[in-house]
Amino acid sequence: MNVAQEYQPPRFLTNGHAQTVYPILFRKCRELPVLRQRLELPDGDFLDIDWLTGGHGRLAFLCHGLEGNSRGLHTSNLMSHLFASGWDVAAMNSRGCSGEPNRLPRLYHSGETDDLHFALGAALAEGGYAVATLVGYSMGGNQILKYLGEGPERVPPQVRAAATLSVPCDLEDSAEALARPANRVYMRYFLRSLRSKIAAKKMLFPDLFDTEGLAGISTFEAFDERYTAPLHGFASARDYWRKASSLPHLPRICVPTLLVNARNDPFLGPACFPANEAAGNPNLRLEVQCNGGHLGFVTLDGTGVYWSERRVVSFLKSYMQ
């Protein structure tokens, strides 16, 4: 476990909740000249990728968080800094997250890696890139870490490094952390969006979705037990959390990978700080910050760039020679 660069928050952001919420309330999404590409998937569904290209010759492939998308707050700011630092950027939207419902009953989940693999391959081919990096935050970070470790042999050789932020490596531990009364506001935020997606699926597939009592679901366990697990072939919510977590796969990661988590992140429990796994794998660099919250890491220096974005770029650049 390392801390190469210690994050120091502004003095008025005194705890993890303040650091988490500040960007949501006061930071703006970047308006970027992205181009959208639609990928047709082998199962008849589709994925949308937003591109920011400038002939840089190297690719940063980006995965967003739970109920996020490629044009949201965190993604747009990461895309902007990566592009300004010399990468073409391809930001994948998980199924149903690009502003248009996906075609099939299934949605996406926190351990989905087949879509990631397919989209990454398509992006590499699209630009003929010989060098690439993976960048993900929160849920997208879990997907990337799981992808890198569960089948290292299928990771394209162009992928030289990866960087992840605020990652719930152990989904069960994270779900239990978010179920605490102090985190009720975050739970309500996510579940409102997820319930809306299930209601939309009910309109498209009325015989497949039971929405009775949907409005009363107030925890990830209840939602995942009723919808996520059966939709994606898991036996239960806890079976889903165990099988979709990146934690068991961290020892097998074979490319240099950064994982930055903050101790005061309200989304993370103790198991989301995998010190033993990092100590046993020289390819995994775990940096545990005292501050930062969940995707906070606020910097107010007039540039509009946050500490976390600079840390991602500085780590990745060291493997781009």
- The set of catalytic residues is 138, 265, 294
Q: How far is 261 from 200, CA to CA, in rounded Å?
A: 34
> What is the arrangement of strands in the sheet containing 88-93, beginning at the earlier edge strand?
35-40, 46-52, 88-93, 59-63, 132-137, 159-165, 257-262, 284-289
Pull the structure tokens for residue 228: 């996520």
Where b means 16+ CB within 10 Å and e means fewer, 22-37 reads bbeeeeeebebebeeb
Spatial neighbors of 207 by CB under 8 A, at least 6 apart, are none
Phi–psi pair at 316, nearest 5 degrees: -65, -40
Q: How far is 119 from 127, CA to CA, in rounded Å?
A: 13
Query: Measured between alpha carbons, how far is residue 277 from residues 155, 249, 262, 290, 305 in Å?
Result: 20, 9, 17, 20, 31
By the 10 Å C-beta count (0-12 exposed, 13-18 middle, 19+ buried), 100 is classed as: exposed
